[in-house]
């Protein structure tokens, strides 16, 4: 377990090229009703955000370039009360998890979890059910599989598993199931939350165990790359990678944690924005994604449980 003083000492000794301070932030949106924003995707040409919420079955869009922007409805999924993961698996085509979720127990009604495809390529969104996960009680983060455009990866926070889902055929199989991905405690504890493949490994967060780790996609033992001190309300959520292979992790109760590898292969962790023990700006960060156009490629967009969309300016980070 690495604490902040240890991290800074490691950086000083290793001579890392990364210099992280508390990066500039701007609150772009604050939900007037405290809508719990869960996950985020950035559209490729417009740069608009697609946002999910565990308190609503409606997919929303948000224009980061507009003044006084609000959440606009895109589509409301039937037979659902909540949306969790979202990922773009083909250009401007997205997979979305919809379910009937009990937010008190953090568990979905049996048989209610569906993976939808939402296709924007013709302009207006075209939604359709791509797959169902009848054995899952909480399908959380989603990601893509490099080089396999119809394959989506999904995190099962209760079973401690990562699924491989074929968005074309609807076939679902367990890709990885391991104790390192499991919650290690009864519900409502959450195990694997966010997941993203990178460099031959599947990187993941485990919210209950307060760990950020990876496991080889070809098979092998999981490796813990970072952890948090055990404390009430603390935990890693979803995350994203930047072009240099650094991971930016939304972290409860109030920070964005930055993970990166030194030349000797050691992974270190720093607080990039907010505060690991709580923040007046970040109200429970849940997900993060970088801008994709219009000169906003260095802007990290963060959603929060408090209904916020926050922009973090990472342009001062040196490669």
pLDDT in tens, 133-182: 999 999 999 999 999 999 999 999 999 999 999 999 999 999 999 999 99
* pLDDT at 9 > cutoff 90: no
| DSSP states of 186-214 | STT---EEEEEEETTEEEEEETTTTEEEE
Q: Residue 64's pLDDT is what?
A: 96
**In the predicted model, is pLDDT for residue 203 greater than 60?**
yes
> Could you give the CA distance from residue 140 to residue 162 in angstroms, rounded to a whole number?
10
Question: Average pLDDT for residues 253-259, to the nearest whole number?
Answer: 97
Rounded-to-integer distance, Cα 277 and Cα 204, Å: 21
| Of 63, 15, 58, nearest in space to 296 by CA | 63
* pTM given for the model: 0.93
Q: What is the pLDDT of residue 16?
A: 41
Residue 24, pLDDT score = 96
Residue 264 in this model has a pLDDT that exceeds 60: yes
Whether the predicted pLDDT of 253 surpasses 60: yes
CA distances for 44 relative to 88, 94, 135, 194, angstroms: 9, 11, 33, 21
Split at pLDDT 50, 70, 90, the class of 17 is: very low
Q: What is the mean pLDDT of residues 257-269?
A: 96
């Amino acid at each position: 377990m690495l604490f902040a003083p240890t991290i800074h000492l490691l950086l000083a000794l290793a001579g890392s090229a990364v210099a992280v301070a508390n990066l500039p932030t701007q609150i772009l949106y604050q939900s007037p009703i405290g809508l719990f924003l869960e996950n985020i995707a950035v559209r490729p040409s417009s740069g608009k955000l697609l946002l999910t919420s565990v308190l609503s079955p409606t997919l929303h869009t948000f224009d980061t370039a507009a003044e006084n922007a609000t959440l606009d409805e895109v589509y409301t999924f039937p037979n659902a009360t909540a949306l969790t993961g979202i990922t773009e698996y083909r250009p401007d085509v997205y997979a979305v998890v919809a379910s009937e979720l009990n937010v008190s127990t953090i568990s979905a009604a049996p048989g209610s979890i569906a993976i939808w495809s939402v296709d924007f390529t013709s302009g207006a969104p075209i939604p359709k059910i791509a797959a169902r996960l009848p054995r899952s009680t909480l399908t959380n983060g989603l990601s893509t599989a490099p080089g396999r455009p119809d394959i989506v990866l999904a995190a099962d926070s209760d079973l401690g598993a990562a699924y491989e889902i074929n968005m074309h055929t609807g076939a679902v199989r367990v890709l990885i199931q391991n104790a390192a991905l499991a919650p290690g405690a009864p519900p409502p504890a959450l195990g694997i939350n966010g997941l993203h493949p990178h460099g031959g490994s599947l990187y993941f967060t485990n919210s209950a165990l307060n760990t950020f780790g990876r496991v080889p996609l070809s098979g092998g033992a999981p490796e813990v790359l970072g952890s948090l001190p055990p404390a009430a309300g603390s935990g890693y959520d979803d995350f994203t990678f930047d072009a240099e292979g650094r991971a930016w992790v939304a972290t409860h109760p109030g920070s964005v944690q930055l993970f990166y590898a030194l030349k000797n292969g050691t992974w270190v962790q720093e607080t990039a924005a907010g505060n690991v023990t709580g923040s007046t700006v970040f109200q429970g960060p849940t997900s993060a994604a970088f801008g994709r156009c219009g000169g906003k490629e260095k802007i990290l967009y963060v959603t929060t449980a408090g209904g916020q969309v926050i922009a973090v300016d990472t342009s001062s980070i040196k490669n």
